[in-house]
Amino acid sequence: MNAAAELVPPAAALALVPGLESGAAPIRLERLVGGSVNDSWRVDTSQGRFVLRVDGPVGQRPGVERARERRIHELAARAGLAPPALLWAHAVGAQVREFLEGRVWQEHDMLQPDQLQRLGARLAQLHAIEPPGEVAPFDPGAYAQQYLQLIDTAVTVAADERARASAIAIANGAAAAVRAAAARVAGHGVRPAIIHGDLTHANVLDGRQLWLLDWEYAQRADPVYDVACVLAYCPAAKPQAPQLLAAAGLAGEGPRGRLADAILVYEGLTRLWHLARGTGVHVG
């Protein structure tokens, strides 16, 4: 949950939910947990049950592009991998979809072989979708550079010169590691696929099927990045990497050879994300 969020959604966003267009009050309004930047609510009205997502600012999150998110989300929804969106309102910064019954995964789900098998199977379906050519390829080095600019701006307000220098040094090292690892992955010349790009356990909903949520970091990239994302976010699952790769249709020496570098990319970007937010959490 975003601690800085408002207690209720903005009125303009709430009015987008079916049944509330004329200013009617929702039957039920409940903030949902899981997002660290965006905020989501369950909203029940006379027209049904819905999820309203209010977007956090993209300026502080390199890699987020709403037009790309919508394009890829629509493809994933058609394939039955993502809950279909009923409405996108970029001017308001909101999205509405039907509320789906289910359980949001916990970290322990990422450690269970049968759950990883299910997740891998869904990733294999995702990677089989023809990626839209108009979507630019994943560029971790460019995102790392954007993070450096954010971090540089953030640390200029720090009173301690030593702390500023340390933060900048850590950030520069992380960005250099991201660029080098991404270049090695790209050097394999693998045909790009659609990847989800943010496979934290909180973005998996276990209902009548396994749904993947929150597609704002979705990209056109080497499919091994999705497996790398899971393992970077949940390092305790790394011993099960071969099984997850196989379930995702990525068995063989090639994917295994690229995986370590792809993990380094996500670990480095995550470290930069924390530094830009001022938390400086060590990852990896």
Question: Which distant-in-sequence residues (6+ apart) come within 8 Å of 130 by Cβ?
Answer: none
Domain check: are 32 and 150 in the same one?
no
Tens digit of pLDDT for each residue in 162-207?
Answer: 878 888 999 999 999 999 999 999 999 999 999 999 999 999 999 9
Domain check: are 30 and 93 in the same one?
yes
Domain check: are 74 and 116 in the same one?
no
Tens digit of pLDDT for each residue in 213-223?
Answer: 999 999 999 99
φ, ψ dihedrals at 138, nearest 5°: -55, 130
Domain check: are 82 and 150 in the same one?
no
Other CB atoms closer than 10 Å to residue 201's CB: what's the count? 19
Domain check: are 145 and 118 in the same one?
yes
Domain check: are 139 and 28 in the same one?
no
Helix 253-277 crosses helix 140-155 at what angle (to 10 degrees)? 20
Domain check: are 20 and 86 in the same one?
yes
Domain span at residue 246 reads 104-277
- Whether the per-residue pLDDT at 119 is higher than 70: the answer is yes
Domain check: are 71 and 123 in the same one?
no
Please check whether residue 185 is in contact with residue 228, taking contact to mean a CB–CB distance below 8 angstroms: no
Domain check: are 76 and 128 in the same one?
no
Please check whether residue 47 is in contact with residue 41, taking contact to mean a CB–CB distance below 8 angstroms: no
Segment 27-46 mean pLDDT: 88
Q: Residue 56 carries which DSSP code?
A: P
User: Is there a domain that residue 127 lies in?
Assistant: yes
Question: Which distant-in-sequence residues (6+ apart) come within 8 Å of 147 by Cβ?
Answer: 62, 171, 175, 269, 272, 273, 275, 276
Query: Which of 222, 220, 219, 136 has the alpha carbon at shortest distance from 184?
Result: 222
Tokens of 274: 């924390």
How many angstroms separate the CA atoms of 133 and 12, rounded? 34
* Domain closes at, from 99, 118, 143: 99
* Domain closes at, from 59, 84, 99: 99
Which CATH number characterizes residue 161's domain?
Answer: 3.90.1200.10
pLDDT bin (cut points 50, 70, 90) of residue 89 is very high
Domain check: are 109 and 206 in the same one?
yes
Domain check: are 53 and 167 in the same one?
no
* Domain closes at, from 99, 120, 150: 99
SS3 state of residue 28:
strand
Please check whether residue 225 is in contact with residue 265, taking contact to mean a CB–CB distance below 8 angstroms: yes
Segment 128-138 mean pLDDT: 95
